[in-house]
Homo-oligomer: A and B are copies of this chain.
């Protein structure tokens, strides 16, 4: 993908913070800073940023792709059997103050680096990268919009096509196939839950077959050029009963209230509370067992986190999910999730598939 032009902004920060070399090891940060997206698994990939140069160290298997994708950085590939930490150490050049991603670099890696750095504590360059990543550039928002558009199309078609007898796994695989047919990839492992399984927000799809009257919850997204949509819809297979209608209506009201509360300058906790209070007032406060939402972009979950009481101040350009839900063990759960861009005076909703309980009548 095209880099979004943030390497220079990181270098400015390094100069201000008197950090003379930074080691970036989180593959998502590497993608963000260079445009090169890769999952090197257990092999080391690292970006060394110094005032005068940036060097991307990659496993040999990634060399061709790295050279083609990464802009404005040199690429140095290492082969299986070589010691990649020696390559990184040489590139670092014994900095006085080293920046690392403290929330990604492991103790083992830090021990491997000891020979290459001078004494002293490393500085956390990861916090700055997360701060930069949280406020999306227009190019990033355009990718998220495209991801949302594909997601919406898949959602509407998939929900209309739900039929009794199919398993959750089959529905999930069909969703993934539709995402692929749209030229995209899935943002994360697609969740499809049915019946009482919908009461467990993280339960992966299984071999339970859909039955008439079931709640069916679908939580998935398409990713475009690395940028991930994330949406949830809950529908009923057939005619909803009174309780399904009532709880769905309340979740919808909480969802609307959350979205209405989003604008630059409010805290994450204030937005969470706007949605949570709707459910609390209806006696369902204890049934809303997770935060209201999270940032998204190159990762399906990233900064900011919309926790109860969370103090993070929302800024224009942040992209977040709003996803209230209620979960009643033995009965089921209902969640509605959309992606929104924070704007100075409100927000813009990116995912726009119908939110109704009946997929044919949104």
Contacts and interface: CB of A to CB of B under 8 A. Distances in A.
Interface in A91-144: 100, 102-111, 122, 124, 126
Interface residues of A, number: 58
A183 interface: yes
Interface stretch (A46-54, A277-285, A305-313): A305-313
**How many subunits of this chain does the assembly comprise?**
2
B169 A173 contact: no
A213 B172 CA distance: 33
Contacts of A300: 41
A310 B169 CA distance: 40
Contacts of A110: 107
Given A180-B169, A289-B60, A105 B107 contact: yes
A16 interface: no
A329 interface: yes
A109 B122 CA distance: 14
A64 B204 contact: no
A167 B181 CA distance: 9
A81 B64 CA distance: 44
Given A110-B107, A183-B169, A81 B291 contact: yes
A67 B260 CA distance: 37
Nearest to A199: B64
Given A80-B290, A81-B307, A180 B172 contact: yes
A157 interface: no
Contact of A108 (B38, B60, B103, B172): B103
A207 interface: yes
A80 B177 contact: no
A196 B65 CA distance: 14
A107 B111 contact: no
A141 to B, nearest CB: 22
A302 B180 CA distance: 29
A31 interface: no
Contacts of A105: 106-107
B61 A290 contact: yes
Interface of A: 38-39, 41-42, 60-62, 64-65, 79-81, 100, 102-111, 122, 124, 126, 167, 169-170, 172-174, 176-177, 179-181, 183, 185, 189, 200-205, 207, 289-291, 300-301, 305, 307-310, 329
Closest A-B pairs by Cβ, 4 of them:
A173-B177, A173-B180, A169-B180, A80-B291
19 contacts: A38-B202, A39-B202, A41-B301, A42-B301, A60-B290, A61-B289, A64-B329, A65-B202, A80-B307, A81-B310, A102-B108, A103-B109, A107-B122, A172-B180, A173-B177, A173-B181, A176-B176, A176-B177, A185-B204
